[in-house]
Structure 1
Amino acid sequence: MPASDRPETVDLFIIGGGINGCGIARDAAGRGLSVTLAEQGDLAQGTSSASTKLFHGGLRYLEYFEFRLVREALEERETLLAAMPHISWPMRFVLPLSPEMRFDTDTPTARLLGWTMPWLRGRRPDWLIRLGLFLYDTMGGRKILPATRTLDLKRDPAGGPLQPRFAKAYEYSDCWVQDSRLVVLNARDAARRGAQILTRTRVTEARRDGALWKITTRGPDGPQTHSARALVNAGGPWVEDVIRNVARINSTEGVRLVRGSHIVTKKLYDHDRCYFFQGSDGRIIFAIPYEQDFTLIGTTDKDHHGAPSEARCTDEERDYLCRFASEYFVRPVTPADVVWTYSGVRPLYNDGAKSATAATRDYVLSLDSPQSGAAAPLLNVFGGKITTYRRLAESALSKLGPHFPGLKPAWTARAALPGGDFPTDGVAALIEALLVKYPFLTKPWATRLIRAYGGEAVQVLGDAKSLQDLGRDFGGTLTEAEVRWLVAQEWAQSAEDIVWRRTRLGLHLSAEQIEALQAHLAAAHPARAPERAAG
């Protein structure tokens, strides 16, 4: 082809639009690299929108001696709070204590105590939990978040929803995050720094051609060919498929696909704290206030053997979570209380652990660069937690650094994401300012907008002087003005993108309202309309 028609060569081509791929794209673009990212579906359509929505160190990982992972995650909590105070915030977790609590005998800690103190075999004593929480409070250099305290559940309101047999609890700090919005904001920041973000674009082939990668994609505009100096495989649950069937590389490394399912029930209690429950099988679950009117309960750990896109919360998993929660709450949780379920597949590095629960949650970055670096490098990303995505991105750029001698230094720590350039305690002031500027909003509506868009909420609403100026009302405070913003600024194309990933309003809308939104999108943006209606 003529030189003018040849595809531009970028420094980095990234496969995967989940949190790891978008985090790497943002970091790389901010360091001066040219970046293209391709995602086969919508941003965060896979695992990154199906988490438990927590920035947390992983208290239970201490039992597996994953100290580096926990310390890194704890350090990141406050770093990330400073960068995204609109979509993340501190929460307090109540961990009830009971004499019936047991060790999971598959953990290194349990085996160690069983060997050294046989009289403790099978018991998880209070002092051990308190020791773990002491480490949790101190390992990460906590400054913003309050420390652990002991609760008398007979006096504290947190004891009200629990069975009377629970008299004592520890209360500690972790953080909430709107996971799919985190992904989109990283993609937006990457794009405004020069990255090209391609959604609904599947990579069908990647092959080395000397010092470059030649990548073939199929997207809305048909087949395209791209050229890149380095390739990053952040395919999440599809990372192994990319290695073998896209790049066609023989590798002994692989992923262990672990399904994590959640249930959402009618609101189970009125206060704003979360619960950390321990089961007799060694598993733990959380019960978390969710979207004002609901309670989120999860998660399970099941090896997943089907396609990642087919992950669903099974009736068995739903019933397990209901029984688990019912061991703690006064009022039993039944399947009739469940209003929605979701499930995601965690792409854990296959370390040969005996069970899905015991498999490492740490990330592994594997650089494939044959001929001592003479050929174009491939970086495969295995595992990872949403809490450590930024550190993973820094590590990825460190791995690739020798291939880009002029790479700028790390920069993302506490760098605000779009809409997040305000103090960590500034949400209330932003809500009040929004209500003054737009007096036709209700406070819950203004709160939702600030929690989604932060300082950019005024750009979403524009010059509106009344409700009518916002255009069509789709229900649940979703208006035409917000829909236009999401389509123009956040790659939203379908009702599913908007109500389940960009806004989480799906729980507040009827099926008919969602279908009406889908019809509106198809009419207003026919080139963007997906093949099926969202549900």
Structure 2
Amino acid sequence: MPSVPVLPPCDLLVVGGGINGAGIARDAAGRGLRVVLCEQDDLAQHTSSASTKLIHGGLRYLEHREFGLVRKALQERELLLRLAPHIIRPLRFVVPHDAAQRPAWLIRAGLFLYDHLARRRLLPASGAIRLAGHPAGAVLKPGFRRAFVYSDGWVDDARLVVLNALDAFEHGARIMTRTRCCDLERGPDGWLATLQLAGGGQARLHARVLVNATGPWAAGFARLAAAPSVVGPRLAAAPLVAGSRLAATPSAIGLRLATTAPEAGGLRLVKGSHIVVRRLFDHPYAYLFQNPDGRIVFAMPFQRDFTLIGTTDVDYDGDPALVAIDGDEERYLCEMASRYFARPVTPDDIVWRFSGVRALLDDGEAAAALSRDYRLAYDAGPGRAPLLNVWGGKITTYRRLAEEALAMLLPRFDNAGPAWTATRPLPGGDLGLPAVLADVPDFEAFLECFRQRHRWLPDALSERYCRLYGSRADRMIGAARSMAALGRELVPGLYEAEARYLVEHEWAASADDILWRRTKLGLHCLRGDAERLDAWLRARRQQPAAEVQRG
């Protein structure tokens, strides 16, 4: 029987390639620790690419008196706007006042708190407007006469994950996508993990510390990791543990463990779904709509030609890998949007829909009211290698979560460096300017300079490249000085140069990786385009490899 190869040992094995796992890997690698991140699927393939795509304090959390969470999130909002101004940008929200919902005084009080709970330098304060004559009022029903406005941030969520993983890699981390953690042995001085590799076969890895950042699978992974002497053989026989997946078949272990977090007092799995329709308005504002059930729905500009509407909050007890929007959710989102827009939104208008499963701390509230805060559970003791479990969390606070996680783990390491992620831009985020973070770099000035250097690029393509890659857009283009030099157009808007870059530098391996997580160009594809792109990727893999190999 062939022996299983052994990978170089590491200080930290992070299981889970969503935003929390990527953020922890980045922070740890930047402190000089030896880091391996493994993810069964693509980076951000599940929850972290299915968010409402906001960097925000969470205005509605004030109603649940989560002042600490909102303050922490607002502080992080300020930081992240500086650290990644290419993929995160300010967004102004309009809240039409509906006298049958929250009273005006309550909204004013909430917005006052939102403005002042944390230091705010980058975004304008909230205020009130009359909708008559205002751009945001033109597409609303005439019964809405006044509104409130406030600011938050928009983020390309999947790219945020990829950029954290990329920065971790550039600080020495090994990033192993499509790699399943299929067995664990816990010893007094570390963990022995068996990994099912992307290309087939297995490898073993010794890690001093194990981090469970598997999101909606975190509770099941924690129980399995806590007693490997009992479940080890079962893990090897059936893939119950994954970089981000438990068994697809509902079982006494799979779903029961996936919904109960031992140290966290319980996790609730909550499905959030969104729909995308053709653009409903031409102005740059987003909307927050209050609805009769007490919930809110956002309607936001999305990818220039579309409007994103969401989200729902539905308790979920299925396999998180198979989550999908249902007809009731589609109708709900259409009906809630249609209460406000003059032109009704119907299910026939939907051009894309997506769903994700959030693992939220279960405090006994209704799904929509569950806390979006996080909890870190550190499991260690004499003769027990450390295990750090990550419960809950939201995209906006991922960097703070990672910093707190490293503070817990640092006593295990003598040579780790200090905290650093609050002052270092993410890849491409410096926009080619000195890393002085007193203010957000001027994206429009950066875009204009890029266009001057590449006059041969269409304006829309220049903007897309700058939004996705920031100061690394030139690196992605390479030596090209004409459209022909970018190579063949593989699908609408995607040329070979960009596809090669995503494969070689961002772990893209399939059409879905490129079209829905790295670029969102899937919104513009026609029938058969994705299959043609997959065929191009397969043909490329069969060629003699001269490309950069990623961990």
Letter matched to residue 262 of structure 2? T
Aligned residue for 1:369, secondary structure, equals strand
Indicate the residue corresponding to 1:125 in structure 2: 103
C-alpha separation in 2, matches of 1:449 and 1:67: 38
Note closer, same or farther for the CA distance 1:527–1:54 as it changes in structure 2 (3 Å cut).
Answer: farther
C-alpha separation in 1, matches of 2:151 and 2:521: 27
Indicate the residue corresponding to 1:158 in structure 2: 136
How big is the shift at 1:6?
A: 5.1
Letter matched to residue 356 of structure 1? A
Aligned residue for 1:511, secondary structure, equals coil
Indicate the residue corresponding to 2:47 in structure 1: 47
- Aligned pair partner of 2:366 in 343, 347, 355: 355
Indicate the residue corresponding to 1:376 in structure 2: 385
Indicate the residue corresponding to 1:118 in structure 2: none
Contact kept? 2:6, 2:203, Cα under 8 Å: no
Indicate the residue corresponding to 1:385 in structure 2: 394
- Aligned pair partner of 1:485 in 477, 501, 509: 501
What pairs with 1:454-473 in structure 2 (closer than 5 Å)? 454-473=470-489
What pairs with 1:237-316 in structure 2 (closer than 5 Å)? 237-248=216-227, 252-253=262-263, 254-316=266-328
Note closer, same or farther for the CA distance 1:14–1:527 as it changes in structure 2 (3 Å cut).
Answer: farther
> Residue by residue, what CA displacement relative to the aligned partner does 1:255-313 show, whole Å, maximum 9, x if unpaired?
21100000001111111100000111011110000111110000000011100011101
Moved more, 396-405 or 91-100: 396-405
Contact kept? 2:131, 2:137, Cα under 8 Å: yes
C-alpha separation in 2, matches of 1:171 and 1:258: 29
- 1:447 and 2:463 matched: yes
Note closer, same or farther for the CA distance 1:526–1:364 as it changes in structure 2 (3 Å cut).
Answer: farther
What pairs with 1:20-99 in structure 2 (closer than 5 Å)? 20-99=20-99
Moved more, 421-430 or 81-90: 421-430
Q: Give the TM-score normalised by the residue count of structure 2.
A: 0.88
C-alpha separation in 2, matches of 1:248 and 1:162: 57
Contact kept? 1:80, 1:414, Cα under 8 Å: no
Indicate the residue corresponding to 1:114 in structure 2: none
Indicate the residue corresponding to 1:200 in structure 2: 178
Indicate the residue corresponding to 2:11 in structure 1: 11
> Residue by residue, what CA displacement relative to the aligned partner does 1:207-264 show, whole Å, maximum 9, x if unpaired?
2122111111101241111101100000011111212335537962442110000000
Aligned residue for 1:377, secondary structure, equals strand
Letter matched to residue 68 of structure 2? R
C-alpha separation in 2, matches of 1:210 and 1:527: 45
Aligned residue for 2:186, secondary structure, equals strand
Contact kept? 2:36, 2:175, Cα under 8 Å: yes
- Aligned pair partner of 1:174 in 124, 145, 152: 152
C-alpha separation in 2, matches of 1:162 and 1:514: 36
- Aligned pair partner of 1:328 in 322, 340, 353: 340
- 1:429 and 2:408 matched: no
Indicate the residue corresponding to 2:427 in structure 1: 418
Contact kept? 2:82, 2:441, Cα under 8 Å: no
> Residue by residue, what CA displacement relative to the aligned partner does 1:348-378 show, whole Å, maximum 9, x if unpaired?
1233x1311121110010111133xx42110
How big is the shift at 1:527?
A: 9.1
How big is the shift at 1:425?
A: 4.2
> Residue by residue, what CA displacement relative to the aligned partner does 1:143-188 show, whole Å, maximum 9, x if unpaired?
0100111110112121111111111111000000000000000000
Indicate the residue corresponding to 2:121 in structure 1: 143
Letter matched to residue 378 of structure 2? L
Moved more, 10-19 or 519-528: 519-528
Aligned residue for 1:458, secondary structure, equals helix
- 1:230 and 2:212 matched: no
Indicate the residue corresponding to 1:113 in structure 2: none
**Unaligned 5+ runs, structure 1:** 102-123, 529-535
Indicate the residue corresponding to 2:243 in structure 1: none
* Aligned residue pair count: 500
Letter matched to residue 388 of structure 1? T
Contact kept? 1:204, 1:246, Cα under 8 Å: no
> Residue by residue, what CA displacement relative to the aligned partner does 1:438-489 show, whole Å, maximum 9, x if unpaired?
2221111100000000011111111112111111102332100000000000
C-alpha separation in 1, matches of 2:322 and 2:226: 24
Indicate the residue corresponding to 2:241 in structure 1: none
Q: Give the TM-score normalised by the residue count of structure 1.
A: 0.91
Indicate the residue corresponding to 2:531 in structure 1: 515
Aligned residue for 1:525, secondary structure, equals helix
Indicate the residue corresponding to 1:110 in structure 2: none
- 1:343 and 2:322 matched: no
Letter matched to residue 136 of structure 1? Y
Aligned residue for 1:365, secondary structure, equals strand
Aligned residue for 1:313, secondary structure, equals coil
How big is the shift at 1:511?
A: 2.6
> Residue by residue, what CA displacement relative to the aligned partner does 1:104-151 show, whole Å, maximum 9, x if unpaired?
xxxxxxxxxxxxxxxxxxxx3211111110110111200010011111
Note closer, same or farther for the CA distance 1:527–1:391 as it changes in structure 2 (3 Å cut).
Answer: farther
C-alpha separation in 1, matches of 2:417 and 2:267: 32
Aligned residue for 1:90, secondary structure, equals strand
C-alpha separation in 2, matches of 1:401 and 1:85: 30
Aligned residue for 1:342, secondary structure, equals strand
How big is the shift at 1:525?
A: 1.2
Note closer, same or farther for the CA distance 1:7–1:519 as it changes in structure 2 (3 Å cut).
Answer: closer
C-alpha separation in 2, matches of 1:354 and 1:56: 22
C-alpha separation in 1, matches of 2:200 and 2:531: 26
C-alpha separation in 1, matches of 2:350 and 2:448: 34
> Residue by residue, what CA displacement relative to the aligned partner does 1:488-511 show, whole Å, maximum 9, x if unpaired?
000000010000000011001113
- 1:409 and 2:418 matched: yes
Contact kept? 2:491, 2:533, Cα under 8 Å: no
Contact kept? 1:205, 1:247, Cα under 8 Å: no
C-alpha separation in 2, matches of 1:433 and 1:231: 45
Contact kept? 1:39, 1:198, Cα under 8 Å: yes
**Unaligned 5+ runs, structure 2:** 229-256, 434-439, 545-551
